């Protein structure tokens, strides 16, 4: 009961945690966007249905869910209902979602603070229960219970991956890396970006990945200089590079992999730029072990990229600065979310890596089309997913060749 242990960790704080599901989003009349559960709610319950709210007090765990409804289930699919949710999650109690507002005041009595992220549709119910609790006591002059954002507390749990989480991440990473290999195998000039996009989805979905972790970037030629390009409609031309940033989810955990390869063959200059990024990435990865800070990796990667930019004659006096060619950071946490939870700075210092954390290492080199240079309009990024282990690290995405 890993979910239960996670709840118990939060229950050690003297607060009541209120964690609602994401709302369903309408796509067009009668059609919803595919539903993807909230990562933190799922992390604490294993429950994946919309219209649910987790309430954790120091004494008990309660989940509010959609009750059974045969008519709605005929259209929308089976709901676990109150009893099914209780059996699945091992909560102390489950109730119909309609009872949330009426039950909340009692649950608040069991704690001295509220942990809730303002900004969802239940704001008014939470705030009403909070002020109502004080009204009931008559004139006291006291303040309402403090309201804290639980993001960091939950992030500190999620940042350390358990063995079962690592197994799911490994599966997501391996299948996504194999899919990148497949793209490298099928790429030809004349193909469209969306064909590679489709091939990645087909490969990973066929093997049990439920969805992508984020929309794929398939960027040929100049499109690779747009960091979050997702249009994926251009035709691939001989002589161009194509940058693919794609990762699939398996059991709710996602990979995040970037590869850059030639549509036909790399020119000498493209190969030179590629080898600079690859060298920076390999050096960054090789540093990774417990005790190393995230900033130290980024600094080392930037040093290597700076040398490379000089060799390519990109950094000129009065010319574009380093950030033009490498505007993003080298690493982020990875897990249930592609940009996973966890804080990057502690007391003003860069976070030190510990076993069980998973980060990306993704240096890039982007030469905008307007810069006068033989490589203008070229974008390269290479990204792997690295698990920090007691003895060093393990690259979870090495099945995708570089
Ligand atoms: Mn990334």
228 is catalytic: yes
CA dihedral 161→230→204→264, nearest 10 degrees, is: -120
Report mean pLDDT in 10-residue bins for the chain, 402 residues.
Answer: 93 95 94 95 97 97 97 92 97 98 95 96 96 88 94 97 98 98 98 98 98 98 94 97 98 98 97 98 98 98 98 93 97 98 96 98 97 97 98 98 97
C-alpha of residue 258 to centroid of ligand 1, in Å: 8
Place of tokens 């930037």: 302
E-assigned strand segments in 127-200: 147-148
Q: Is 228 exposed, middle or buried (0-12, 13-18, 19+ CB in 10 A)?
A: exposed
Instruction: In whole angstroms, give the CA distance from residue 210 to residue 248.
Output: 8
30 is catalytic: yes
Q: Which of 38, 165, 197, 383 is catalytic?
A: 383
- Yes or no: say if 15 and 115 are a contact pair by the CB < 8 Å rule: yes
pLDDT at 138: 85
Residues 6+ apart with CB under 8 A from 151: 117, 341
The pocket of ion ligand 1, defined by CB under 5 A, consists of 256, 360
383 is catalytic: yes
250: part of which helix (H) or strand (E)? strand 248-250
C-alpha of residue 257 to centroid of ligand 1, in Å: 7
339 is catalytic: yes
380: part of which helix (H) or strand (E)? strand 378-381
277: part of which helix (H) or strand (E)? helix 268-286
Residue 306, phi-psi category: left (phi > 0), alpha (psi -120 to 50), beta (remainder): alpha
C-alpha of residue 255 to centroid of ligand 1, in Å: 9
- 175-192 in b/e form (b: 16+ CB < 10 A) is bbbebbebbbeebeeebe
3-state secondary structure of 258: strand
Instruction: In whole angstroms, give the CA distance from residue 87 to residue 73.
Output: 19
Q: Which of 184, 211, 279, 339 is catalytic?
A: 339
C-alpha of residue 214 to centroid of ligand 1, in Å: 10
Residues 6+ apart with CB under 8 A from 320: 314, 368, 371
Q: Which of 49, 381, 384, 393 is catalytic?
A: 381
366 is catalytic: yes
pLDDT at 76: 86
Q: Which of 298, 332, 351, 373 is catalytic?
A: 332
Q: Which of 38, 197, 245, 337 is catalytic?
A: 245
381 is catalytic: yes
C-alpha of residue 327 to centroid of ligand 1, in Å: 13
- Yes or no: say if 225 and 367 are a contact pair by the CB < 8 Å rule: yes
Concatenating the DSSP letter of every residue in 18-68 gives: EEEPPPP-EEETTEEPPP---HHHHHHH----SS-EEEE-SS-EEEEEPPP
Instruction: In whole angstroms, give the CA distance from residue 190 to residue 185.
Output: 15
Structure tokens at 109: 């009595």
- Determine phi and psi for 86, rounding to 5 degrees: -65, -45
Q: Helices (H), strands (E): how many in the chain?
A: 12, 21
C-alpha of residue 368 to centroid of ligand 1, in Å: 20
pLDDT at 137: 85
256 is catalytic: yes
C-alpha of residue 221 to centroid of ligand 1, in Å: 20
pLDDT at 306: 98
Residues 6+ apart with CB under 8 A from 113: 13, 14, 15, 16, 145, 146, 147, 148
274 is catalytic: no
C-alpha of residue 143 to centroid of ligand 1, in Å: 43
C-alpha of residue 61 to centroid of ligand 1, in Å: 34
Give the strand order in the sheet containing 53-56: 93-96, 61-65, 53-56, 16-20, 114-115, 147-148
Q: Is 207 exposed, middle or buried (0-12, 13-18, 19+ CB in 10 A)?
A: middle
Q: Domains in the chain, please, with CATH?
A: 2-156 (3.40.350.10), 159-395 (3.90.230.10)
C-alpha of residue 173 to centroid of ligand 1, in Å: 13
pLDDT at 122: 97
Beta bridge partners of residue 242, listed in sequence order: 220, 261
pLDDT at 191: 98
Question: pTM to 2 decimals?
Answer: 0.95
Place of tokens 């997702």: 230
C-alpha of residue 297 to centroid of ligand 1, in Å: 15
């Amino acid at each position: 009961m890993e979910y239960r242990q996670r709840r118990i960790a939060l229950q050690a704080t003297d607060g009541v945690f209120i964690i609602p599901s994401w709302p369903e989003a309408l796509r067009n009349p009668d059609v919803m966007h595919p539903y993807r559960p909230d990562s933190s709610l799922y992390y604490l319950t294993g429950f994946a249905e919309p219209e649910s709210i987790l309430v954790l007090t120091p004494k008990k765990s309660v989940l509010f869910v959609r009750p059974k409804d045969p008519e709605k289930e005929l259209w929308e699919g089976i709901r676990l209902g109150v009893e099914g949710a209780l059996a699945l999650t091992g909560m102390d109690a489950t109730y119909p979602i309609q009872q949330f507002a009426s039950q909340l005041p009692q649950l608040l009595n069991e704690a001295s603070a509220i942990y809730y992220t303002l900004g969802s549709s239940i704001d008014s119910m939470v705030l009403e229960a909070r002020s109502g609790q004080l009204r009931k006591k008559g004139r006291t002059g006291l303040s309402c219970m403090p309201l804290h954002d639980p993001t960091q507390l939950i992030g500190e749990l999620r940042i350390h991956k358990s063995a079962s989480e690592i197994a799911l991440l490994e599966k997501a990473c391996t299948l996504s890396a194999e899919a990148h290999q497949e793209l490298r195998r099928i790429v030809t000039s004349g193909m469209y970006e969306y064909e590679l996009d489709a091939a990645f989805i087909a490969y990973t979905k066929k093997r049990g990945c439920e969805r992508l972790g984020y929309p794929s970037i398939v960027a040929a030629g100049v499109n690779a200089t747009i960091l979050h390009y997702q249009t994926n409609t251009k035709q691939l031309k001989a002589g161009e590079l194509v940058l693919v940033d794609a990762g699939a989810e398996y059991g709710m955990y996602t990979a995040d992999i970037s590869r850059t390869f030639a549509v036909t063959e790399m020119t000498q200059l493209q190969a030179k730029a590629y080898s600079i990024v690859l060298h920076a990435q390999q050096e960054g990865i090789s540093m990774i072990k417990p005790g190393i800070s995230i900033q130290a990796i980024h600094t080392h990667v930037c040093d290597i990229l700076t040398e490379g930019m000089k060799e390519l004659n990109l950094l000129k006096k009065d010319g574009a600065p380093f950030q033009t060619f490498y505007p993003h950071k080298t690493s982020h946490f990875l897990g249930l979310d592609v940009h996973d939870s966890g804080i990057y700075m502690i007391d003003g210092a860069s976070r030190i890596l510990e076993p069980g954390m998973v980060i990306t290492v993704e240096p890039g080199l982007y030469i905008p089309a307007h810069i006068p240079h033989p490589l203008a309009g070229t974008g390269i990024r290479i990204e792997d997913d690295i698990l920090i282990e007691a003895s060093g690290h393990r690259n979870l995405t090495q099945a995708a060749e570089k």
